[in-house]
Structures are given as structure tokens and as C-alpha cells.
Amino acid sequence: MYNGIGLQTPRGSGTNGYVQRNLSLVRRVKDKVNYKTEEDIKKLDALANKQPNEDILAHERKRKVELKCMEMQELMEEQGYCQEEIDKKVAAFRLMLSEKIDTGEQEVARDDSGRIM
């Protein structure tokens, strides 16, 4: 039995029990195809090209500034500077980097595919 069609068992029927579809049936109603309009295509394109979140980008820039400051601090500690001098120079370096970011002088970081990181 196939989807409720056919014999329960082909035993004793003189057939092998194979069920075929009737391909000679002509349907009067065709399946309707809904094509996308120009407005639908524009909406889908707008959804696909989302702009990055500004808060996430700002956080990433701040993180990079802190990373550079940390690297400078470690380098100065290895060279033997005193802690007060390290703190002053790192604070000045951090201020300079943050001003550089605020004025927009720093280039936008992009990944391999050209998207803004």
C-alpha cells in the first residue's frame, strides 16, 4: 500500500503490487507563479546591504587605542622607565590617539572582503 492507494498485499492478486501515477490527467488550473515586483527587489536589496552599528565601530576604535597604549606601556616597562613617567606618557599617547580618531584622521579599518570592521 502506498499512501493509502493500492492493495494491502499483492499476494494472490496476480500483480506485483507496483503503483503507478496516472500521467494522462490534465489539470485545468495551472500553478500560479508570483513574480517579484521592482519594489520587492529594492526592499530586498536594502535589507541585504545593512550599515554597520556605530556603537560597535566606536567600541572597536576604543579597543584598538587601548591595545596600542598597552603595547607602549609594556615596551616602556621593558626599557626600565619609572611607573610615573610611564603613566604620563601613556596618558598623553592615549589622548593623542583619541583626538586623532575624533577628528576622523584615522582610516577606516576594512577586512579582506572590503567590509568595515
Give the tens place of pLDDT for each residue, 44-63. Answer: 888 887 788 889 888 988 99
Please state, for a pLDDT cut of 70, what percent of the chain lies above it. Answer: 82
> Which of 62, 63, 71, 64 shows the shortest CA–CA distance to 90?
71
- Residue located via cell numbers 583626538: 99
pTM: 0.50
Q: Which residues does residue 78 pair with via DSSP β-bridges, in sequence order?
A: none
